[in-house]
Chain A
Amino acid sequence: MVLSFFDQFMSPSYLGIPLMALALILPWTLYPKPTSQWISNRVLTLQGWFINRFTQQLMLPLGRKGHKWALLLTSLMVFLITLNMLGLLPYTFTPTTQLSLNMGFAVPLWLATVLIGMRNQPTIALGHLLPEGTPTPLIPVLIIIETISLFIRPIALGVRLTANLTAGHLLIQLIATAAFVLAPLMPTVALLTATLLLLLTLLEVAVAMIQAYVFVLLLSLYLQENV
């Protein structure tokens, strides 16, 4: 019983064929391609509106140089949101629960921002290591602390996403099991548990969207510092 809770996080494979690629490609099939028609259907209109608004909001604090990252960040956001939301369906595998995937997103992008900062404006990039107005005796210690904080960022990004989603999924499984087991024994308690499950599902929906947004927002913040 304990093992089966973590089965959902195992990378799916069938007859030895890894299905991870299939799981990752699925979001792409769900979004219609923009047509050359002037007025499109509702889905396409909403999709276009959302992507426009999101990119506009994200690119607002970034200058012209940061606009090169618009495509990357917006597509990352849409991808993560879709993966997270699809994972809430029963019997589905959520790729973003895999630490390898999230680190694969976080480390290269974070490293890119750091390298851009070091290359284009090394003084300012290094200057971020010392917050303004620190008392002089604290400076060496603070530099060390800020460096550690800088290097923790990719780990934090990846682990944040993984941990949130894994925890959420596990909680759903646990509470659903509780409701399932209690249903023939104590129906009233099972009903309460089912209500809890409903609220948790709502929370998980919110968490799915928020975590994706936070991931992309933090990356844009790091970019803003360094671009």
Chain B
Amino acid sequence: MLSRLVFVSANALKGSGPLGAGLVQASRSLHTSSQNLAPVPPLPEKGGKVRHGIFPEELFQLLYPKTGVTGPYMLGTGLLIYMLSKEIYVINHETFAALSIGSVIVYGVKKFGPSVAAFADKLNEEKVAKAQEVKDAALASLTQAVEQEKKEQWRAEGRTLLFDAKKNNVAMLLETNYRERLHMVTNEVKRRLDYQIALQDLHRRMEQEHMINWVEKSVIGSITPQQEKESIAKCISDLKVLAKSTKATV
């Protein structure tokens, strides 16, 4: 029966602002019901708003519809005056002591409050920043790893091109070598053949010369002395005639 009460009240409290959320969280720790009050509302970040350091803002909101803005102040003043006049609160030496310690406290809070709050916030910020730094470092290293992996993949792609180029290179070298050797072979063969031709030419020339020599020799041998005298006499007569013709012309 009580668990039903907790259910109903919890659901009503969940939406009712920071105080309600705090109560839901607190009642969860008591384990009075099964844990199905999810999603649990988040706890408030800052404490409740107060006016003049001690009076909660909800009091002012409560009294506003009936008594307006000055309502709570009138209530406070009235209460104070009532307690003083009826001597429910007696002014004695403790009042002075209370005033002095009160002023010390108020002065302390007003002067050092913001700096202390900033310090506490800084402690929390540093905690968050450290965790964030770890997360950022991990993210950065992972991104870098991805980049490097991509680069490696690109390099791997490029390797096939490299292999093709190398293959082509080697093929060209082989081709060049083959062509050179072919050239050399052709030259050698040509030399051999030229030699044969030269040999044949020489052969024919020698035959020709030999034949010419033999013909000359035989002709010269066949010239008899009679013919020689006749040819010489003819030459002398021709010369005389020529001399006569030239003498005439000169």
B69 at interface, CB cutoff 8 A = no
Q: How far apart are the CA atoms of A39 and B131 in the complex, in Å?
A: 12
A173 at interface, CB cutoff 8 A = yes
Residues of B close to A49: CB separation below 8 A:
120, 123
Which positions in A face B, CB cutoff 8 Å?
37-43, 45-46, 49, 88-91, 172-173, 176-177, 179-180, 194, 197-198, 200-202, 205
Given contacts A42-B117, A45-B124, A49-B123, contact A180 B100 (CB under 8 A): no
Residues of A close to B45: CB separation below 8 A:
41
Given contacts A41-B47, A42-B121, A46-B120, contact A177 B100 (CB under 8 A): no
Which positions in B face A, CB cutoff 8 Å?
43, 45-47, 91-101, 103-104, 116-117, 119-121, 123-124, 127-128
Nearest first, the 5 closest Cβ-Cβ pairs linking A and B are: A90-B98, A177-B93, A42-B120, A176-B93, A176-B96
Residues of B close to A179: CB separation below 8 A:
93, 96
Residues of A close to B43: CB separation below 8 A:
37
Residues of B close to A90: CB separation below 8 A:
94-95, 97-98, 101
A88, A180, A205: the one contacting B92 at CB < 8 Å is A180
Residues of B close to A200: CB separation below 8 A:
100
The distance from the CB of A208 to the nearest CB of chain B, in whole angstroms, is: 11
Query: Knowing that A180-B92, A194-B96, A201-B97 are A-B contacts, what are 6 other residue pairs whose CB atoms are under 8 Å apart, sorted by A's residue number?
Result: A46-B123, A90-B95, A90-B101, A180-B96, A197-B97, A198-B103
A37, A38, A46, A88: the one contacting B101 at CB < 8 Å is A88
Q: How far apart are the CA atoms of A172 and B94 in the complex, in Å?
A: 9
Q: How far apart are the CA atoms of A37 and B25 in the complex, in Å?
A: 12
- Do B104 and A201 touch across chains, with their CB atoms under 8 A apart? yes
Q: How far apart are the CA atoms of A173 and B94 in the complex, in Å?
A: 7
Given contacts A39-B127, A176-B94, A180-B92, contact A197 B100 (CB under 8 A): yes
